[in-house]
Chains A and B, each alone.
Chain A
Amino acid sequence: MIIFYILTIMAIAFAILAAGSKNLLHSALWLTFMVATVASIFFYLENFFISAIEILVYAGAIVTLILTSVMMSRRYLDE
């Protein structure tokens, strides 16, 4: 049970960091960690399918999409 609470607090912390950081790249980075933490919560709860799908869809597709769009954003290129 302690592991569950630690993971939950980590997920919330990463989510706050992802939403709050000014830098888009950092947001994507924290989002990756949040997804990994949520996947490990599902893994801890022995729901392996949802855990794998979480990583596949969010880390595989959505974070890649976000990173590609960050790459295209003019502000990031100018910095």
Chain B
Amino acid sequence: MNLFFFLMSILYGLLKFLHINFIPYTWDGYPVGLWIAYLIISAVEVILVFAIAMIVVVILVYVFRKYMADLQNRIGPNRLGPWGTFQLIADVFKLLQKQDIVPANADRLAFKIAPYIVFTPVILGFILIPFGNVSILNLMVTNFQYTVLFLVAVMIVSPLGEIIGGLSSHNKFALYGALRSAAQDIGYEVPMMISIISIVILAGSYSANAIVYAQRNLPFIIPEILGFIVFFLAMIAKQSIPPFDLPESGSELVSGFSTEYSGMRYGIFYMANFGFMALASFVVATLYLGGWEGPFSLIPGLVWLIIKAAVFMIIFLLSWIALGRTRVDQFLNMGWKYLLPLSILNLIISTGLAFYVGGWF
């Protein structure tokens, strides 16, 4: 009998997942196995989002290598598969085979846990983004009231893993990397938060879905251009890619906080880096370019979101390849002396806009 209920709940979950409202069996007026059904829906959706994130990371790494090679007059990966598309898979297998070296002096527990602290928030962030309004597959995985607040909270956790990883390595360069990571973290987080607050004021809600809906007339990039600049620079700093790659500056510190990492632990840092790049472009596209809203309703929202995010991904990659590195003091000056006043100015402007022409946004 339990198996029957279980199978019925699987069926109910699948039907609910496909948006077919059909209650297969009722007991005292309640659908049987409702919570199991919800559990199954959640599990399927989380696995789907995880798959989306991983696919995006794979594509992004390939595009990065090809693009970088193109700008440097090289060919890039071209051996494995058509046009070298299987290169990353081969790389992952190579990393999996490698010996897992933990330095003798290292703090073993913290050293082993740190990559996961960096990687988990990236996947959690993907769960919070509204991927579209397609009716067959419900791509809004989470739709509670405080999605954007949670997104910020999740994005703030991953530098902790960098600091812990760098500290626990007991290596001079890793320690410098961790120190710079902490300094950089403090430098951009406050302006980033304030620019998100101004979006929330303009949209009147913390929910990412409501923010997307509020941009149906005018994307927030136009009234919030200052906030967009601040947030975009903060996102570049958050990924620690050039010009703000102070925590892992390759020419001064060996590889910054990830100097001592090898094998798949380094691979997790690498995937987290690219995953966060994808996440950041999705977040910027959702918050400032209207998310899945698009001019033609025939094309599903997911396609619009991916197009908008791809633009930002290319800009991130271009800044990675083309720009030089700022000094630490230059970055901290920029964060506290320019980005913070700019974001406060943007907060004032958006408060005024929300007060006087509030209904329109």
- A residues neighboring B (CB under 8 Å): 23, 25-26, 28-29, 32, 36, 39, 48-49, 51-53, 55-56, 59-60, 63-64, 67-68, 70-71, 76-77, 79
**Cβ-defined contact, B150 with A59, below 8 A:** no
**Cβ-defined contact, A55 with B164, below 8 A:** no
**Cβ-defined contact, B156 with A59, below 8 A:** yes
Instruction: State A29–B144 Cα separation when bound (angstroms).
Output: 29
**Cβ-defined contact, B150 with A26, below 8 A:** no
Known: A32-B160, A48-B144. A25 touches B117 (CB 8 A): no
Instruction: State A75–B293 Cα separation when bound (angstroms).
Output: 55
Instruction: State A77–B105 Cα separation when bound (angstroms).
Output: 12
- CB neighbours of B152 from chain A (8 A): 52, 56
Render B148-170 as a binary contact track against A, CB cut-off 8 A, 1 for contact.
Answer: 01101110110110011001101
CB nearest neighbor in A for B107: A25
**Cβ-defined contact, A64 with B160, below 8 A:** yes
**Cβ-defined contact, B164 with A60, below 8 A:** no
Q: In chain B, residues 105-125, which have Cβ atoms closer than 8 Å to a Cβ of chain A?
A: 107, 109-110, 113, 117
**Cβ-defined contact, B170 with A71, below 8 A:** no
CB nearest neighbor in B for A23: B107
**Cβ-defined contact, B179 with A29, below 8 A:** no
Known: A25-B164, A25-B168, A59-B156. A64 touches B149 (CB 8 A): no
- B residues neighboring A (CB under 8 Å): 107, 109-110, 113, 117, 144-146, 149-150, 152-154, 156-157, 159-160, 163-164, 167-168, 170, 175, 178-179, 182, 185-186, 189
With A48-B144, A51-B150 already in contact, 10 other A-B pairs whose C-beta atoms are closer than 8 Å? A26-B109, A32-B117, A36-B157, A52-B146, A52-B153, A53-B149, A56-B149, A60-B156, A60-B157, A67-B182
Question: 30 A-B contacts, Cβ less than 8 Å apart?
Answer: A23-B107, A25-B110, A25-B164, A25-B168, A26-B107, A26-B110, A28-B164, A29-B109, A29-B110, A29-B113, A32-B117, A39-B153, A48-B150, A52-B149, A52-B150, A55-B150, A55-B153, A56-B152, A56-B153, A56-B156, A59-B160, A60-B156, A64-B159, A64-B185, A67-B164, A68-B163, A71-B163, A71-B175, A77-B175, A79-B170
Q: How far in angstroms is the closest Cβ of chain A from B23?
A: 24
**Cβ-defined contact, A71 with B156, below 8 A:** no
CB nearest neighbor in A for B153: A55
Complex A-B, nearest 9 residue pairs according to Cβ-Cβ distance, in ascending order: A60-B156, A55-B153, A52-B149, A56-B153, A48-B146, A52-B153, A52-B150, A67-B163, A68-B182
- CB neighbours of A29 from chain B (8 A): 109-110, 113, 164
Q: How far in angstroms is the closest Cβ of chain A from B242?
A: 23
CB nearest neighbor in A for B105: A79
Q: How far in angstroms is the closest Cβ of chain A from B150?
A: 5
Instruction: State A36–B113 Cα separation when bound (angstroms).
Output: 14
**Cβ-defined contact, B164 with A64, below 8 A:** no
Instruction: State A39–B156 Cα separation when bound (angstroms).
Output: 14
Known: A56-B152, A71-B178. A49 touches B107 (CB 8 A): no
Instruction: State A76–B109 Cα separation when bound (angstroms).
Output: 15
Q: How far in angstroms is the closest Cβ of chain A from B332?
A: 14
CB nearest neighbor in A for B152: A56
Known: A55-B156, A67-B167. A49 touches B117 (CB 8 A): no
**Cβ-defined contact, A71 with B146, below 8 A:** no
Which of A28, A60, A67 lies in contact with B189, CB distance below 8 A? A60
Q: How far in angstroms is the closest Cβ of chain A from B339?
A: 18
- CB neighbours of B113 from chain A (8 A): 29
